[in-house]
Structure 1
Amino acid sequence: MSKHKKRSWAEPYKIKMVEPVKMTTREERQKAIEEAGFNTFLLRSEEVYIDLLTDSGTSAMSDRQWAGMMMGDEAYAGSRNFYHLEDAVRKYYGYKHIVPTHQGRAAEHIISQLMIKEGDFIPGNMYFTTTKLHQELAGGTFVDVIIDEAHDPESEHPFKADIDLNKLEELIKEKGADRIPYVSIATTVNMAGGQPISLSNLKEVRKLTEKYDIPIVHDMTRVAENAYFIKDREPGYADKSIPEIVKEICSLTDAATMSSKKDALVNIGGFLAVNDEELFDKARNMVVIYEGLHTYGGMAGRDMEALAIGISESVDYDHIRARVGQVIYLGEKLIQMGVPVVKPIGSHGVFLDAKKILPHLSQDQLPAQSLASAIYLDSGVRSMERGVVSAGRNPETGEHNYPKLELVRLTIPRRVYTQAHMDVVAESVEAVYENAKDIKGLKFVYEPEYLRFFQSRFEVL
């Protein structure tokens, strides 16, 4: 009797249009990375073979989305596409009101300015760069209350984005509920390696915040990916649909910021979603000052239409299973090769453990930045640093913040690359890992004041 073997899978789409990419020589890449100051963000797109810098705005839209683009109503006020978008947000996410923005960080700016006052503390399940900065610019201090397992790349905890309820309640008791404007919940947590939060934990967080009358603000950038992990890993949810799980996650929160450039499969756009009428009125007034009228908020009508369609496609099970599955495929391949990565594999990228790959470099020598540069030099694959450079400096001392996780992110755009591309990436990382001892550290030669990982320049030590 024959044994069942694991069957191959294929992407759940057909390729209808192609974009040629340039193959470069090592000499060309050496020149390019030096001119970019060893910062992969400063490379030109045409110098990149496989672009895994980010999944933000880099995904491929569907034929339905492109058709929707032709139906753009570019009226300054009351665009019909806004109302299609509003209907989609209410149907799939359940929030009452939306304020469109040009992208997610604009929504972060608005909610931070409206809810945070000087001296406030904002607890959350690990920081995200732009979110934390907007909270600080509004006068607040972010406090990480994620479970300890999130800071351990070897931990196989299935929900490393869970909040430590003891840490959260201790902070509330120490600072006072009146100094905590909201709890910040991300689905999934990027800086931990694309890790999900469980619904059981979120329900407990909700119960605790209701006790102290503190709202929850949801960074829902990758909520469908989080829902997939809940369906796959959390007891009691195997038979629930992705839309049902997404709706339940959102129902446990009071407001949300969305960078639609991730889950929702568009190249630009975002929104702030709220349930509270008074907060909605203030946000709608504020968006007119900083973004545009409250019925477009920095987005063209055609982009709002593509977003409304993208939301419905993002919760399709075949799509989200293949999207996360491609990431897991790359991650498992690297694990088989012996490459140290964050476990379990997250939803939107594979995170290389730069501390273990480059043990001869201290964090002062910027190992993740060095590793990202080395991978590009080897193959033209562009990745990005998620370590001491991204963590920035302590605003009081001026010293580097030293996160426990020093990572390089191989971020997979949605519906863009095939398994063959993943194989090329894995082979490149393996080659770099085998010669890791030859990689030298970097030092800053230029550093902007905010979000330094985007524009800093480095040179080899």
Structure 2
Amino acid sequence: MKTIIEPFKIKVVEPIRMTTKEQREAIIREAGYNLFMIKADDIIIDLLTDSGTAAMSSEQWAGIMRGDESYAGARSFFRFEAKVQEITGFKTVIPTHQGRAAERILFELLSRPGKYIPSNTHFDTTRANIEYRGGEAIDLVIPEGKDPQNLHPFKGNIDLEKLDNFINKVGPENIPLCMLTVTNNSGGGQPVSMTNIRQTKEVVSRYDIPLFLDACRFAENAYFIKKREPGYADKTCKEIAREMFSYVDGCTMSAKKDALVNIGGFLAMNDVELANQARNVLIVTEGFPTYGGLAGRDLEAIAQGLEEVLHEDYLHYRIRTVEYMGEKLDQIGAPYLKPPGGHAIYLDAKTFTPHIPAHEFPGQAIAYALYVEGGIRSCEIGSIMFGKKDPVTGEHIPPPLELVRLAFPRRVYTQSHFDYVLEVCAAVYKKRDQLRGFRFIEEAPLLRHFTARFAMV
């Protein structure tokens, strides 16, 4: 059937406050043109992120009522631990309050000046945690991953030749681990193939370098492998996920993505000694090892969400929704990163607004217009998030891609909501020549996109 139906029924609703264009112009101006700074009540369709924005199921809410809030050894932890180990196979599971907390613990132990962490593409919090400790985050995605129009089925793959050359260039003793982001969020939600994961492990094993996954969207990546990689069509997504994890030594996970919850994460690994060090950091900064900054009810919700996210009816609906949006954007003519990824549509800001140079943030111009036109909140993933200044000349160094991410919260919006988003995209695209760039008024040294203020050029 061509019509996408949501594989769930709606039991509870939340009202959306409708605003006028004039109201939205005043709201975003007051927020310093930063969509992170706008109150949620002033948003009509919120596509800022898919992190922590999911609608939980009746079974997850039931689990919340069953949550054991004991300080130590709560049964909710053991259910959570068992579910993570069932999927990943890792010996040690350490809960944290969200993914960046797991990253902070890992890189507090392993990142320091003179150390390098190669990846296909690091996401913003991963990069920030590496650099905050003095290390250097290195992106080595394949060339196809930097071409928005290339239809390579696994554009999230790491370039194996570049990885091998980089290890030899800086020395394996200066690389405490290699990391693969699945799916590759900063590269357009693009998947990584099973072959690439396995071959990456083969490369780093020659140098005795551990391999970790940033596993936020492991289930979506597993579904892409099932649909696109030969030999996996008859395997379940759970079997595919288990194989993915079998090739790596550990992972960080923001449960706010593919565990379908509003808070939580974990750090998991096979290295018992490193895990013991991580637990010590956890106790000081997050909480006791069996709750890690989370309530027992949240651990219950994560365990149930990890079960539900691997249901193939759900994954088909999830991935097909993104494909549907891409097909409709093709009809409009609006450029986006192809093929559509797993959790979002990424508008290609360079092509969308070629008259706005990178240092004037074309993605921000589009994000501003989407909000004013239709109350849609999106996220710039380009020169604001990943751009840098030349330390000598001060000139702007843009990232390979200038994107605007429309991230789809899980089980939140219906097809009519997405059709509305498409109408707004069409309206903005028609008057794209009128869009203007932006410049910074205030910016923080790290993760500046969260709190920066702008002025229109």
TM range (shorter): over 0.9
SS in 2 for 1:385: strand
Query: Where does residue 367 of structure 1 map in the other structure?
Result: 362
Query: Where does residue 299 of structure 2 map in the other structure?
Result: 304
Q: Please identify, of 131-140 and 262-271, the stretch whose mean Cα deviation from structure 2 is larger.
A: 131-140
For residues 249-286 of structure 1, what are the alpha-carbon distances to aligned partners after superposition, in whole Å with 9 as ceiling and x for unaligned?
Answer: 11111010000000100000001001111011111111
d(CA) in 2 for partners of 1:113, 1:105: 12
Deviation, 1:239, is 0.5
Query: Where does residue 51 of structure 2 map in the other structure?
Result: 56
- Counterpart among 394, 404, 407 of residue 411 in structure 1: 407
Confirm or deny that 1:92 pairs with 2:84.
no
SS in 1 for 2:397: coil
Residue type of the alignment partner of 1:416: V
Query: Where does residue 342 of structure 1 map in the other structure?
Result: 337
d(CA) in 2 for partners of 1:394, 1:186: 25
For residues 72-114 of structure 1, what are the alpha-carbon distances to aligned partners after superposition, in whole Å with 9 as ceiling and x for unaligned?
Answer: 1111111111111000001112111111111000100111111
1:262-411 correspondence runs (5 A):
262-394=257-389, 396-397=391-392, 399-411=395-407
- Counterpart among 199, 203, 208 of residue 204 in structure 1: 199
d(CA) in 2 for partners of 1:74, 1:197: 38
Query: Where does residue 254 of structure 1 map in the other structure?
Result: 249
Deviation, 1:122, is 1.1
Please report the TM-score for the alignment, with normalisation by the length of structure 1.
0.97
Contact 1:92 1:312 in 2 (8 A): no
For residues 333-378 of structure 1, what are the alpha-carbon distances to aligned partners after superposition, in whole Å with 9 as ceiling and x for unaligned?
Answer: 1112111000000001000011111111001111101110100000
d(CA) in 1 for partners of 2:314, 2:443: 40
Confirm or deny that 1:429 pairs with 2:425.
yes
d(CA) in 1 for partners of 2:58, 2:374: 31
Contact 2:4 2:320 in 1 (8 A): no
Q: Please identify, of 186-195 and 326-335, the stretch whose mean Cα deviation from structure 2 is larger.
A: 326-335
Q: Please identify, of 214-223 and 113-122, the stretch whose mean Cα deviation from structure 2 is larger.
A: 113-122
Q: Please identify, of 106-115 and 258-267, the stretch whose mean Cα deviation from structure 2 is larger.
A: 106-115
Residue type of the alignment partner of 1:318: D
Deviation, 1:116, is 2.4
Contact 1:102 1:270 in 2 (8 A): yes
Query: Where does residue 3 of structure 1 map in the other structure?
Result: none
Q: Please identify, of 322-331 and 232-241, the stretch whose mean Cα deviation from structure 2 is larger.
A: 322-331
Confirm or deny that 1:145 pairs with 2:140.
yes
d(CA) in 2 for partners of 1:337, 1:85: 45
Runs of 4+ residues over 6 Å off in structure 1: none
d(CA) in 1 for partners of 2:304, 2:182: 21
d(CA) in 1 for partners of 2:403, 2:204: 32
Task: Determine what percentage of the aligned residue pairs are the same residue.
Answer: 49
Gap regions ≥5 residues in structure 2: none
Residue type of the alignment partner of 2:246: S
Q: Please identify, of 117-126 and 366-375, the stretch whose mean Cα deviation from structure 2 is larger.
A: 117-126
Residue type of the alignment partner of 1:248: E
Deviation, 1:395, is 8.2
Residue type of the alignment partner of 2:355: H
Confirm or deny that 1:221 pairs with 2:213.
no
Q: Please identify, of 325-334 and 310-319, the stretch whose mean Cα deviation from structure 2 is larger.
A: 325-334
C-alpha change, 1:399 and 1:76, in structure 2 (3 Å) is farther
d(CA) in 2 for partners of 1:437, 1:346: 27
SS in 2 for 1:70: helix
Deviation, 1:8, is 1.9
d(CA) in 1 for partners of 2:255, 2:137: 24
Deviation, 1:246, is 0.5
Deviation, 1:440, is 1.0
Residue type of the alignment partner of 2:229: E
SS in 2 for 1:376: helix
Query: Where does residue 168 of structure 1 map in the other structure?
Result: 163
d(CA) in 2 for partners of 1:323, 1:210: 35
Query: Where does residue 188 of structure 1 map in the other structure?
Result: 183
Q: Please identify, of 268-277 and 322-331, the stretch whose mean Cα deviation from structure 2 is larger.
A: 322-331
Confirm or deny that 1:457 pairs with 2:435.
no
Q: Please identify, of 327-336 and 102-111, the stretch whose mean Cα deviation from structure 2 is larger.
A: 327-336
SS in 2 for 1:278: helix
Contact 1:392 1:451 in 2 (8 A): no
Contact 2:4 2:415 in 1 (8 A): no
SS in 2 for 1:76: coil
d(CA) in 2 for partners of 1:393, 1:134: 17
Deviation, 1:126, is 1.3
Confirm or deny that 1:448 pairs with 2:448.
no
SS in 2 for 1:194: coil
d(CA) in 2 for partners of 1:450, 1:17: 38
d(CA) in 1 for partners of 2:265, 2:176: 22
For residues 135-192 of structure 1, what are the alpha-carbon distances to aligned partners after superposition, in whole Å with 9 as ceiling and x for unaligned?
Answer: 1122211111110111110110100111111100101111111111111111001111
For residues 286-323 of structure 1, what are the alpha-carbon distances to aligned partners after superposition, in whole Å with 9 as ceiling and x for unaligned?
Answer: 10011111111110110010001000111111111111
Deviation, 1:328, is 1.5
Deviation, 1:330, is 1.2
Contact 1:59 1:415 in 2 (8 A): yes
d(CA) in 2 for partners of 1:134, 1:401: 21
Residue type of the alignment partner of 1:299: L
SS in 1 for 2:200: helix
Matched residues, number: 456
1:59-78 correspondence runs (5 A):
59-78=54-73
Deviation, 1:399, is 4.7
d(CA) in 1 for partners of 2:182, 2:359: 30
d(CA) in 2 for partners of 1:407, 1:106: 26
For residues 192-220 of structure 1, what are the alpha-carbon distances to aligned partners after superposition, in whole Å with 9 as ceiling and x for unaligned?
Answer: 10000000111111111111111001100
Residue type of the alignment partner of 1:437: D
d(CA) in 1 for partners of 2:397, 2:217: 26
Confirm or deny that 1:118 pairs with 2:113.
yes
For residues 213-244 of structure 1, what are the alpha-carbon distances to aligned partners after superposition, in whole Å with 9 as ceiling and x for unaligned?
Answer: 11001100000000010001001100010000
d(CA) in 1 for partners of 2:54, 2:395: 36
